[in-house]
Structure formats: structure tokens, C-alpha cells
Amino acid sequence: MVLVGYGLGGSAFHAPLITSVPGMVLVGVVTGNPERQEAVRSRYPGVAVIPDAEIVFREPQGCDLVVIATPNSTHVPLARKALEAGLPVVIDKPIATNSADARELGQIGPPVFPYLNRRWDGDFRTVRRLAGDGSLGEVLRFESRFERWRPEVKESWKEDDPSGSIIYDLGTHLIDQAICLFGPPTHVYAEVDTRRAGAKVPDDVFLGLTHEGGTRSHLWASATAADLGPRFRILGDRASYVIHGMDGQEDALRAGRTPAEPGWGQMPPETYGFLGVPGRARPVRTDPGAYQDFYAAVAASLETGAPPPVPLNDAIAGLEVIEAALRSAVGR
């Protein structure tokens, strides 16, 4: 396979996972940046460094999958060229900046795999297990947060491009996790704000989703949170589950570690969440995080026709929620 893009996404969230999965072979990385080209050669000797993705699309022989990890606004044009060359694609989130473009990609032919790795966060895997095994009873409210304290605007394409704003970035994950648990919402309410001095794109978002079964999802994404709320707070009619902090896989990948190492994805006991009711709550071991399982499922889907790790329709539904949220925010 060929990885297009070797910024943070390509270098930390894709290449280490691809090279940790049996049957996955990274044959090339596309980047025109000289420093990143050297970084590829240093970490992955023998992997071809390709200066332009057009070379791959013109000569697709020897490549059976393209992974797109470039700025969000480039996802659709790159994916379209790969698909038209007959190559399946993995597309980092969001797969497109609108649902219409995402649907169009799905109609070209080869498979489209949305990269929504936060489904394999250890804390979310724990939430999914507890919601599914009856420990919580009927889930009444699902609260989920990606909150940060970053009061200063940093130089980044995400700070200039609306498609990189917090609702498309962290918001995509929050929405996808809610859809994964409860299905697409029937109603969407949103507060979308730009709070920091000098900020050009939204940096503080609240979404309220109502799902068909009656569960409500309350989702927060913020760069201006001077106090960090729980990562998850799920209220059921039998019990609650509350956990603070973040899954450790991102920090591990940034530090150069890989899922091939022993103990990958395991969190220490002091970070465990609590299950129960007031006065009677017990710690619950956090399931190991497993980002590598995404690529293992991609391989199985291509080789045996197994279901994709994330259905394309779920990613399209997530974009529809973002579109509804932006309409809601304008109308309030």
C-alpha cells in the first residue's frame, strides 16, 4: 500500500499501525517535504519515497490500497483520483467536507474505508461493552468530551481552514462514537462558537443529539476549557459509568511506540472509570486500546470480503450531523 501524506497523521496515526499488522506492507510514502522525506527513509528503510501522488495514480500497478492522510480539503480530490485508478482508499477523518461528496466517492467503485480510529480507544471500547451487556440498563444520556486548554492560536492549517475546525476535527470523532452506539440522530441542536482572540474558525462546540430510541447524546469539543470534564459520563436507568482522561494510544504513537510492543493500549488502574450509582460505584478495568484492529479489519475486508471496520454510511451520517449542526447554530 501507499501512504499519501507524512505529517502528524501519516507519521503517527497510520504508518506505525500499517507496519504492525500482519499482511500489511507499506511500499511507498508520498510527501514533497524534504524533511519528511528524510524522516521516512530513516524510520522505514526500503520504503519508496514518492514526491507526488500523481505518480501513484498514473502507475497503480503494485499498489492495492491508498491511505490518504493529508489536509482535510484535499481528501476528496485525492480519493477520487485513487478510486478512478481502481485503488481502494482509506481516508482520514473527515472523509469529505460535505455529505454529497462523500456519497459520490462511494459510487465510484472500489471500497472506501473511513479512518475513524477512536472507535478503538480503550475507554470507548469499555463504554461499548458496558452499554451492550446490560451493565448500565437503558442508556438515557451519553456525554462525551474532547476538551483542551489551548487559549493561544497556534500556526496550523487547521486554524485557517474551516474544514479543519474543531467540529470537523474532534467533533467528527464525538459524533461517530455516538452513531456507533445509538445510530444516526433524529434531531440535532448545536452551539458553535469562535472564542479565542485571533481565531478564524470555530474552537468551542456543543452538540445535542436525539437518537431514535430516545437516548440523548451531549457532546463537547473545545480548545478553551479551563477545566476538563469527564471524557465519558453515561447515565443509564440501572447505573452510570464515568471516566476521566484520555486514551493513551495517541501519546504512545507520538513518542514513536507501536502496537507491536507488549502491553500496547493498556491503561493503568489509577485511570480506570467507575461503574455504579451514588455511594456504590466500583472501578472497571479499561479495555485495551487497539487502533491496529482498524487496519487488520481493512485487510480482512479486502482479502475475504469481511465487513469494513467502519461502514461508509456511518461516515456520511456523521457529515450530515455536522451539516445539521452548522444550520442549527446559525438559526439559534
pLDDT in tens, 222-231: 999 999 999 9
Contact 188, 216 (CB under 8 A): no
Same domain, 63 and 196: no
Same domain, 268 and 180: yes
CA distances (Å), origin 308, targets 90, 116, 275, 297, 300: 11, 12, 31, 6, 8
pLDDT of residue 23: 87
Decide if 324 is inside a domain: no
pLDDT bin (cut points 50, 70, 90) of residue 332 is: low
Same domain, 56 and 138: no
Using the predicted structure, report yes or no on whether residue 61 has a pLDDT greater than 90.
no
Instruction: Please report, for the domain that includes residue 97, its CATH number.
Output: 3.40.50.720
Same domain, 128 and 233: yes
CA distances (Å), origin 214, targets 139, 174, 182, 207, 220: 9, 18, 9, 16, 20
Decide if 314 is inside a domain: no
Pick the last residue of a domain from 115, 137, 154: 115
Decide if 135 is inside a domain: yes
**For the segment 89-132, what is each residue's pLDDT rounded down to a tens digit?**
999 999 999 999 999 999 999 999 999 999 999 999 999 999 99
Least confident span in 11-20, 56-65, 220-229, 253-262: 56-65
Q: How many CA atoms lie within 13 A of 62 on its CB side?
A: 8
Same domain, 172 and 249: yes
**For the segment 150-174, what is each residue's pLDDT rounded down to a tens digit?**
999 998 889 998 889 999 999 999 9
Instruction: Please report, for the domain that includes residue 176, its CATH number.
Output: 3.30.360.10
**For the segment 205-216, what is each residue's pLDDT rounded down to a tens digit?**
999 999 999 999
Tally of domains within the chain:
2
pLDDT bin (cut points 50, 70, 90) of residue 62 is: confident
Give me 65's grid cell: 490500497
pLDDT of residue 301: 97
pLDDT of residue 102: 98
Pick the last residue of a domain from 272, 288, 304: 288
pLDDT of residue 228: 97
Pick the last residue of a domain from 80, 98, 115: 115
Same domain, 68 and 136: no
Q: From CA 263, how far away is CA 255, in angstroms rounded?
A: 15
| Number of other residues whose CB lies within 10 A of the CB of residue 197 | 8
CA distances (Å), origin 162, targets 167, 243, 296: 9, 31, 32
Radius of gyration, CA atoms only, the chain: 20
Per DSSP, what are the bridge partners of residue 273?
284
Decide if 302 is inside a domain: no
Decide if 161 is inside a domain: yes
Using the predicted structure, report yes or no on whether residue 52 has a pLDDT greater than 70.
yes
Find the length of the chain. Answer: 332
How far separated are the first and last CA of the chain, in Å rounded? 46
Q: From CA 94, how far away is CA 72, in angstroms rounded?
A: 7
Grid coordinates 500523481 are at which residue?
Answer: 54
Mean pLDDT of 310-315: 98
The domain in which residue 275 lies consists of 123-288
**For the segment 34-51, what is each residue's pLDDT rounded down to a tens digit?**
999 999 999 999 999 999
As a whole number, the mean pLDDT across the chain is 96
